[in-house]
Amino acid sequence: MKSSQTRIPRANRRSFLKNGATGIGAAAIDLGVGPGTSIAFGFDDDDDDRAPITRGDIAILTFLSALEQVEADLWTQYAELGGATNQGLSPIDIPLTGLAPNYITALQVLDGDMPQYIADNTDDEISHHRFLNNYLMSKGASPIDLSQFAVLPPSEVTGVPQKGRLTNLKQLTIETKFWTRYRSAKQNPDLGGTFENAVPDLARGQHPAIPINDDDLKLNSDGTITNHLQAIANTAGFHFAFIEQGGTSLYPTLAQKVTNLQVLRVLLSIGGSEIMHFQVWHDKAGNATNITDGDLTFPNLNNGVDPNTGAHGPNVADLFQTNLIMPEPTVFLNPRLGPVSIIRPTSDKQGGAIAAVVGFRDDGLFLDPKTKKNTGIVDVLMDLAEEADEARRRT
């Protein structure tokens, strides 16, 4: 039984972060575990430390599986339109990809291998969700399935299956502070650091990251990509990095809360692949062309000018230069320990499960264009996130 001292701050924090989340209400989620109990499910793996899998472990795994289902949904939409049609030898390849060749051409401005990277990232997220659900069931816990919230309309581009989706990629408001967060030598979000957006316009308004219909795929009279279509592709490039930086921080943050060694191995192993995703997309976003489409401008990040304030100089250049994609050493734990290159954040004071849901919600991923409100998936994810954040490692 959790004490009121534990519950009240968490509830207040959740209430604050959840502000604005609307929908049909939270569904009851069965974790398959009684409150406050530890469960030994009959281990048969040599690498298992035979420590019990706690209710907190199950809550973390369930939340991560839910979030991976969300990511699988959005990546499937990207792959349908912009993924490689010849995807190699993955056993999970989705059946329908590359339906918008002009969109692919615009994506390839960021990198010629974008279609293959998109297809591979899609396979990875599908595999994460399936594996986590299978692992939960192997330990006697309930899997998670959010398909009841797949009600959002997909792109209307010819050939795209017109079935409901969990996510909306047509009205995104994308925070690009990851850009300066990983370049700062003096600021760490875990220690209260604050950061600027690389593309300020993406953080205001609503912008499509996929072509909404066939009209978005039209070319200029000379056969070149329109600024509008290129802006859609550029938006996708930054959105890819935004999505994957969340997993990059989330897995190590939650790994600190697990009790069972095998569960820790699961989180560290999947989390490592999320870091690889982020590094790729961080690099490719830097190739977005300096264009304007309506109220959306992608600035020249290599001209030494802060796109937020107009300030300039060497320090500004280091914060925005596009080829500085390795994590700059920064302060960690205590500034007196000196700078170190790290994943950031990894504390649930600034990160964690609830913060991940808030980030996705504020991104516009769950907005229903008919109601102008979030679907009920937000409430369910918030409930799962609260359980995950409240988990504590037992010794």
Residue 154 parent element (H or E): none
pLDDT score at 93: 81
Residue 37 phi, psi dihedral angles, 5° rounding? -105, 160
What is the distance, to the nearest Å, from the Cα of residue 245 to the centroid of all Cα atoms in its chain? 6
DSSP string, 96-150: -----HHHHHHHTTT-TTHHHHHHHHHHHHHHHHHHHHHHHHHTTPPP---GGG-
Count of C-beta atoms within a 10 Å radius of residue 108: 16
In sequence order, the 6+-apart residues with CB closer than 8 A to the CB of 181 are: 187, 189, 193, 195, 344
119 with 84: CB under 8 angstroms? yes
Q: Is residue 285 part of a domain?
A: yes
* Other C-beta atoms lying within 10 Å of the C-beta of residue 325: 20
Residue pair 343/275 in contact (Cβ under 8 Å)? The answer is yes
Residue with tokens 């792109």: 155
Answer yes or no: is 340 within a domain: no
| Residue 28: inside a domain | yes
Residues 75-85: tens digit of each pLDDT: 999 999 999 99
Q: Is residue 335 part of a domain?
A: no
Band of residue 4 on the pLDDT scale cut at 50, 70, 90 = very low
Amino acid at 159: G
List the Cα angle 12/377/371 in 5-degree steps: 105
**CA torsion angle for 34, 40, 43, 48 (degrees, to 10)?**
100
Global pTM value = 0.89
Nearest by Cα to 64 from 341, 357, 294: 357
Q: Tell me the torsion sign for CA atoms 308, 313, 316, 318.
A: positive
**Per-residue pLDDT at 66 exceeds 70:** yes
- Indicate if the pLDDT at residue 20 is higher than 70: no
pLDDT tens by residue, 147-161? 999 999 999 999 999
Determine the length of the chain: 395
Residue 87 pLDDT > 80, yes or no?
no
For 42-46, 312-316, 334-338, 353-357, which range has the lowest pLDDT when averaged over its residues? 42-46
Please check whether residue 337 lies inside any domain of the structure.
Answer: no
| Structural domain harbouring 280 | 4-170+199-297+369-390
pLDDT tens digits, 111-169: 999 999 999 999 999 999 999 999 999 999 999 999 999 999 999 999 999 999 999 99
Query: Does 181 fall in a domain?
Result: no
359 domain-assigned: no
Tell me the H-state helices in the chain: 4-18, 55-82, 101-107, 114-138, 178-181, 227-255, 261-285, 314-320, 352-363, 377-390
Q: Say which residue, 229 or 88, is predicted with more confidence.
A: 229
Q: What is the pLDDT of residues 269-295, one digit of tens each?
A: 999 999 999 999 999 999 999 999 999
pLDDT (mean) for 300-313: 94
Percentage of the residues of the chain whose pLDDT score is greater than 90: 82
What's the mean pLDDT in 201-212? 97
Contact 327, 135 (CB under 8 A): no
Indicate the SS3 state at residue 230.
helix
Query: pLDDT category, 389, cuts 50, 70, 90?
Result: very high
Tally of structural domains, the chain: 1
With 0-12 CB in 10 A as exposed, 13-18 as middle and 19+ as buried, what is 42? exposed
Query: Residue 247 domain-assigned?
Result: yes
